[in-house]
Amino acid sequence: MDFEAPKSRWWWMLVFLVSGLALGCRKDTAAGAALREATPPETQSDSQEAASREGPHPSQRLAGVSPVPIKLVPRQISAVAMGGDSQRALHGDPWSLFDGDATKAFGTEGQPVRVTVKLAEKGALDGMTVYGRAEGSLSILTEVGSELAPVAGLSELNLRDVSADRSNRFSAASPKDAEAVVLEWHPDHPGASLAELELWGTGESSAARPDQFRADQLLTGIPRGAIEAAGLPRDVSVSRPEAAADPRSGTVRVELENDPRTLVRAFLVYELVGLTHWSAAVREINGQPARGGARLATAAASEKPVAGVQVEEIAAAWLRRGTNEFHFRPVNDDDPVGYRVIDLRVIGLPDTVGRLRSGQVRSATEAEFNALKALVGISP
């Protein structure tokens, strides 16, 4: 009996506790329903929106494209001397500032200069890198209305005491939207020069960057920031009789405003009639050795194949600023009709990720090079 009594008391206490919890839940449910009935729909909607803001679904957080640092690519560059000698001709090439080769420096023989850089696409400038040390000062300005104003954090930069064998980063106080920037370079003496610059902003993640673009995607459109230049004439016929009458009859000319040194990839896009693939067409690019002729069209003239729109990747180094010539040659002496090239375009994808190139790699210190060799198991 003594053993059963405590057991009975504990049993009933547990029953009362569970019953109380259940009753409380029912009361809370009823109170909640009454509160919802008494709450106007607008207030309920506001509460739902607040809850949504406090705990968004993961897919909502991933819906946007995360901004990442990208390089702002020049489209046009011009330089003029500053001060009383503004008409003086400059011997240095300002494009050498952005060609990725730190061994080719921009020198002005001691003359202060103003370099205007028109960007391939409007961007939010938030920083700059300068490779190596330079004996002088550098400022960046942007247009504010009709006036030029220095960018806070990027004005009167002292390049004399920075690291000599790597890229030195300078950040703007706040991002500045710009379609063009102006660089003011004040060298200390005639031998002072600038090796390499990069303008940085923020943009789309790597999935949308031009360097990640696939060639077949150009069939439906071009990525943002890419350059596009159309050729003339729009329609050329290439055959043995036409080539005999005029050796340059199959030539398409394309004018490029951009310097190809700013491109990491380049493509030819055109419609091809009379051949089955772009690799069948024999073509010369700016005097380079002829390529193509891999597949010859053997169909009758009335059954000419239509290859449709072609995307051919070419070396950006084959291109040049200004006039580019694409000369198509006949592929079959027995075919008097030949083939046609229609609406040829050059599409260039700029370097937006700031890859190190040969000049900068060669500028590494001997100590760094020896450390790298030791890392991979090679004795210095």
How many residues appear in the chain?
Answer: 380
**Residue 25: which pLDDT band, with cuts at 50, 70 and 90?**
very low
What is the average pLDDT score of the chain?
74
Assign 217 to helix, strand or coil.
Answer: helix
Class for the domain spanning 210-350: mainly beta
Q: DSSP of 148-162, one letter per residue?
A: EEEPTTSSSEE-SSS
Q: CA–CA separation, 314 vs 30, rounded Å?
A: 73
Strand partners, 176: 125
Q: What is the pLDDT of residue 271?
A: 93
- The C-alpha atoms of residue 140 and residue 175 are separated, in whole angstroms, by 13
pLDDT of 7: 47
SS3 281: coil
pLDDT at residue 236 in the model:
96
Report the DSSP beta bridge partners of residue 279.
none
CA distances from 54 to 39, 61, 306, 310 (A): 21, 12, 57, 50
Token code pair at residue 146 = 């009709």
Where residue 98 falls among pLDDT bands split at 50, 70, 90? confident
On whether the 68-205 domain is CATH 3.40.50.1220, my answer is no
pLDDT at 319 over 60: yes
What are the structural domain ranges in the chain?
A: 68-205, 210-350
Higher pLDDT, 226 or 29: 226
**Strand ranges, E, within 211-367:** 227-232, 235-238, 251-256, 263-273, 282-285, 306-314, 322-329, 339-350
What is the distance between the alpha carbons of residues 187 and 159, in angstroms, rounded to a whole number?
10
CA distance 349 to 269: 13
Residue 194 has pLDDT above 70, yes or no: yes
Average pLDDT over residues 283-294: 85
68-205 with 210-350: one CATH topology? yes
| CA distances in angstroms from 29 to 32, 129, 314, listed in the order given | 5, 63, 70
- Given a cut of 70, whether residue 29 has pLDDT beyond it is no
Distant-in-sequence, close-in-space partners of 360: CB < 8 Å, separation ≥ 6: 100, 101, 102, 131, 167, 196
Of 233 and 13, the structure prediction assigns the larger pLDDT to: 233
Q: How far apart are CA 361 and CA 166, in angstroms?
A: 9
Whether residue 251 is predicted with pLDDT greater than 60 in this model: the reply is yes
Contacts of 339 by beta carbon, 8 Å cutoff, 6+ apart: 237, 238, 239, 272, 273, 274, 275, 281, 297, 304, 328, 331
What backbone phi and psi angles, to 5 degrees, belong to 29?
-65, -45
Rounded-to-integer distance, Cα 152 and Cα 173, Å: 5
Question: Is 231 a residue whose pLDDT tops 70?
Answer: yes
Residues 6+ apart with CB under 8 A from 179: 118, 119, 122
What distance in Å separates the CA atoms of residue 36 and residue 286, rounded to the nearest whole number?
76
For residue 106, give both structure tokens. 């921009």
Contact between residue 160 and residue 168 where contact means Cβ atoms under 8 Å apart:
no
Torsion sign (Cα): 42, 48, 50, 52: negative
Reported as a pLDDT band with limits 50, 70 and 90, residue 62 is very low
Give pTM, 2 decimals. Answer: 0.53
Instruction: Dihedral sign for Cα 336, 338, 342, 347, please.
Output: negative
